[in-house]
Structure formats: structure tokens, C-alpha cells
């Protein structure tokens, strides 16, 4: 490039450079301020975008909240209706409870004929409930003799004292019950541990029961059972009773008893150390002499003598001697002839499942850590139904 007047160009350039030198600080400050403002602008834009997202979310939630308000109002109305209804139901329930309590005490007073105070040393509420809920009539009570006379809905007459536990278990809670007893066309029962005869009478009341053979080791309890049998002549004609116990041998033994109690007699001293009632009344324990015979031989002789061909039911409740009896029945081959076994185990020291080979357990109910009720049925009679899922 050719300059017409280079000197003049140099002068102009020099003046421009001098002007720049005079203003460069201002220019740099301006540029720095511009960059700072750009940074702030960028930060503002970022916060704006973030706030806009939050605002969009808030608006969306507001729309949802607006949609929920009618639902909330409807639920509140329903809640108000429920509360009003609950208050009404609560009042009705309160009235029903008052009426029930009033009627309960009227029924109880009627049941005891106004003489509830005469029934000593017993839970009169529990006794009334047992009778009322199971349609058991109180026929009479002799306070001086401590004898209570009852009649079940099936017309079985029962005598007891203030210790009525076994009646409650058998006639109140359905003890010694299984559908097999109604399924058998004919059966006989060996009632080992007959006690006061309550179970024997219940078995005998079934039409398909052809005979009951009862064994009771304690003489006083045995005589109590005879009284109950005498009150029911149509049933007692089926019952043959024996005043000795069964075991794994013939022997004279000591038995341990609690006066006035039913189901509390044992040949096993260990048993007296495990049961609550024994522990509570240990100082009242009586020791008597009694006789036991070998279970297998006695029952085998009866089966042969009476030519028993029907199903055989073994009810066993001997307060701790169950295993000895089962061992005897097994060793003499008598257990093979039994179809159904029910009773109570009190010491839980051996496994009944192992002893009762060829039987299936269909019920085992523990009453405490060592005592339980059981029902076993011969394997070929065990026919479970499918459990619907």
C-alpha cells in the first residue's frame, strides 16, 4: 500500500494511540464491568429456569389439590355420617350391654333360685356359664352334703360336688369327641381312668355304643361313679365297671389322692410335682392302697369272653400311667385290635407317636408344658379331606 503522506499518517496514528493510552483504564474497567454483569445475567437466567420449574411443579400440585378438594369434602361428609352413626351404634351397644348385664344377673339368680350364696368354694359365675351355654339344668343342691345334681340336654343325670372340672371338660367343651364315634356302626369303649363315670355315660348315650368297660382305681371315686350310673339306668345297663386300675403288671400300689377332687388320683408320685392343683394343695394329699392289673391281659380276656367284633375305642386318662398301659397293650398284641385312642398325657416324657405305630394323630391340644389331650385313629380309618387353598 502506498501512502501519499506517510508523515501525516504517522501523526494521526500517534494521536489515536495517545487517546487510547489516556482512556485504556476506563475501557478496561468498562469491559470488566460488562463481564461481571454477564456473569450475573447468566446466574439470574439459571435461577429463573430453576424457579420456573418449581413454579410449574407448584402449579401442577395446585391443580391436583384443587381436584382433591371435592374428594376431601365428600370424605368429610362421609366421616360426619359415620361419626353420627357410630354415636348412635355406641348408644345402642351401651344399652345392649346394660340389658345383657341386667338379664345375665336375672338369669343367674333364676338358675340358682336365689341361693347362689349357698354354693361354697366354687366359681359360681363359671359354673352358671357352663350350664347356661350348654343347656345343663341344675336339678337340686344339698349344701350340707355338697352334692350338686345336674341334667344335660341329652337327659343324662350327673352328680358332682363343688369340683366340677371334668363335667366342664366333657359336657361343656366336648371332651372325648370325634366324628368317628358317629361314623362307627357299632363300637365298644374301654374307659381306663373312669373317674366319676361322666365319660362312660356320654359314650353310652350314643346309639352305636354297645358297651363300656370302665376301670377306676380309687374306691371313693368308683362309688361316686356308681351313684351316677344308678341315676341313669337306661345307660348304665351298657356299662360294666371295675374297681381296680390298669398298668403293665398285677400289683398292689400306693395311690395319691386329693380329697374332694375328681381326676386327681395317680400312682405316679412324680405327677404330684407337676400339676398346679397338687402343688397348691400338697398338704392335703392322701396316700391309699389300691390294686392294678396288667392292662393287656385284662382287656384281651374281655374281648375274648364277650366276643367283641365291633370297633374298639380306648379312652385313657390315668394321671401319668398312660405309657405303662400302652406298653402292656402293645406287648400282648391288644393294641392292634383298637381302632381309636383318646385321652390325656400328663408327663410328656415319651413320644406317643412312636409308641402308637399304625395310628395317626388327629388332635393334640396342650393344656400346659407337660399335659395334653390327644386323639389317635388307626391308619386305615384316617381319611383327610382336601384343604381348599
Please report whether residue 117 resides in a domain. no
Residue that terminates a domain, selected from 86, 111, 136: 111
Same domain? For 181 and 236 the reply is: yes
Same domain? For 80 and 201 the reply is: no
Distance CA 274, CA 278 (A): 8
Please report whether residue 116 resides in a domain. no
Least confident of 102-111, 127-136, 265-274: 265-274
Name the DSSP letter for residue 186.
S
| Residue 56 pLDDT | 75
pLDDT digits (tens, 9 = 90+) for 213-231: 999 999 999 999 999 999 9
Same domain? For 238 and 100 the reply is: no
**2-19 mean pLDDT:** 62
Average pLDDT for the chain: 87
Cell numbers found for residue 112: 340358682
What angle is formed at CA 184 by the lines to CA 183 and CA 186, rounded to 5 degrees? Answer: 145
Least confident of 34-38, 114-118, 134-138, 232-236: 34-38
DSSP 294-319: EHHHHHHHHHHHTT--SEEEEEE--S
Distance CA 321, CA 271 (A): 10
Please report whether residue 78 resides in a domain. yes
| Residue 164 pLDDT | 94
Please report whether residue 344 resides in a domain. yes
Same domain? For 19 and 152 the reply is: no
CATH number, domain with residue 315: 3.40.50.150
Please report whether residue 387 resides in a domain. no
pLDDT digits (tens, 9 = 90+) for 143-191: 999 999 999 999 999 999 999 999 999 999 999 999 999 999 999 999 9
pLDDT at residue 13 greater than cutoff 70? no
Least confident of 12-26, 116-130, 201-215: 12-26
Pairing of strands 245-247, 265-266: unpaired
Same domain? For 104 and 236 the reply is: no
Please report whether residue 65 resides in a domain. yes
pLDDT at residue 253 greater than cutoff 90? yes
Same domain? For 140 and 106 the reply is: no
Task: List the domain range (segments joined by +) for residue 106.
Answer: 9-111
Residue that terminates a domain, selected from 55, 81, 111: 111
Give residue 135's Cα distance to chain centre: 24
Same domain? For 140 and 35 the reply is: no
Least confident of 36-50, 201-215, 276-290: 36-50
pLDDT band at 363; cut points 50, 70, 90: very high
Same domain? For 107 and 138 the reply is: no
Q: Classify burial at 116, counting beta carbons within 10 Å of its beta carbon; exposed 0-12, middle 13-18, buried 19 or more.
A: middle
> Higher-confidence residue: 274 or 196?
196
**348-362 mean pLDDT:** 85
Least confident of 183-192, 209-218, 273-282: 273-282
Same domain? For 76 and 145 the reply is: no
Same domain? For 133 and 101 the reply is: no
Same domain? For 172 and 318 the reply is: yes
pLDDT digits (tens, 9 = 90+) for 108-141: 999 999 999 999 999 999 999 999 999 999 999 9
Please report whether residue 268 resides in a domain. yes
- Taking 3-state DSSP, the helix, strand and coil percentages for the chain, each rounded to the nearest 5, stand at 50, 20, 30
Question: In total, how many domains does the chain have?
Answer: 2
Residue that terminates a domain, selected from 51, 78, 111: 111
Same domain? For 37 and 135 the reply is: no
Please report whether residue 150 resides in a domain. yes
Amino acid at each position: 500500500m502506498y501512502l501519499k503522506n506517510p508523515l501525516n499518517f504517522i501523526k494521526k496514528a500517534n494521536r489515536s494511540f495517545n487517546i487510547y493510552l489516556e482512556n485504556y483504564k476506563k475501557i478496561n474497567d468498562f469491559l470488566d464491568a460488562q463481564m461481571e454483569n454477564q456473569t450475573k445475567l447468566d446466574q439470574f437466567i439459571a435461577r429463573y429456569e430453576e424457579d420456573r420449574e418449581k413454579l410449574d411443579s407448584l402449579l401442577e400440585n395446585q391443580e391436583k389439590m384443587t381436584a382433591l378438594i371435592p374428594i376431601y369434602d365428600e370424605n368429610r361428609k362421609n366421616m360426619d355420617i359415620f361419626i353420627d352413626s357410630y354415636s348412635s351404634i355406641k348408644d345402642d351397644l351401651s344399652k345392649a350391654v346394660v340389658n345383657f348385664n341386667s338379664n345375665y344377673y336375672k338369669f343367674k339368680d333364676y338358675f340358682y333360685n336365689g341361693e347362689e350364696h349357698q354354693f361354697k368354694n366354687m366359681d359360681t359365675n363359671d359354673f352358671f356359664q357352663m350350664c347356661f351355654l350348654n343347656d345343663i339344668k341344675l336339678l337340686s343342691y344339698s349344701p350340707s352334703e355338697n352334692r350338686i345334681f345336674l341334667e344335660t340336654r341329652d337327659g343324662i343325670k350327673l352328680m358332682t360336688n363343688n369340683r366340677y372340672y371334668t363335667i366342664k371338660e366333657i359336657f361343656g367343651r366336648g371332651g372325648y369327641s370325634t366324628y368317628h364315634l358317629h361314623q362307627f356302626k357299632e363300637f365298644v369303649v374301654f374307659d381306663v381312668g373312669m373317674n366319676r363315670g361322666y365319660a362312660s355315660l356320654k359314650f353310652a348315650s350314643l346309639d352305636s355304643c354297645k358297651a363300656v368297660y370302665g376301670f377306676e382305681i380309687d374306691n371313693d371315686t368308683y362309688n361316686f361313679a356308681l351313684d351316677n350310673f344308678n341315676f341313669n339306668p337306661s345307660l348304665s345297663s351298657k356299662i360294666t365297671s371295675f374297681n381296680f386300675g390298669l398298668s403293665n403288671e398285677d400289683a398292689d400300689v400306693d395311690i395319691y389322692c386329693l380329697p374332694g377332687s375328681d381326676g386327681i388320683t395317680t400312682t405316679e408320685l412324680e405327677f404330684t410335682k407337676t400339676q398346679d392343683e397338687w402343688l397348691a394343695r400338697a398338704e392335703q394329699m392322701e396316700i391309699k392302697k389300691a390294686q392294678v392289673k396288667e392292662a393287656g391281659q385284662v382287656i384281651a380276656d374281655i374281648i375274648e369272653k364277650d366276643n367283641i367284633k365291633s370297633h374298639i375305642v380306648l379312652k385313657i386318662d390315668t394321671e401319668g400311667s398312660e405309657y405303662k398301659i400302652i406298653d402292656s397293650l402293645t406287648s400282648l398284641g391288644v393294641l392292634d385290635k383298637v381302632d381309636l385312642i383318646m385321652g390325656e398325657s400328663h408327663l410328656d416324657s415319651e413320644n406317643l407317636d412312636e409308641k402308637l405305630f399304625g395310628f395317626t394323630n388327629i388332635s393334640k391340644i396342650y393344656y400346659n408344658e407337660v399335659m395334653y389331650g390327644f386323639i389317635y385313629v388307626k391308619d386305615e380309618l384316617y381319611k383327610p379331606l382336601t384343604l381348599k387353598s
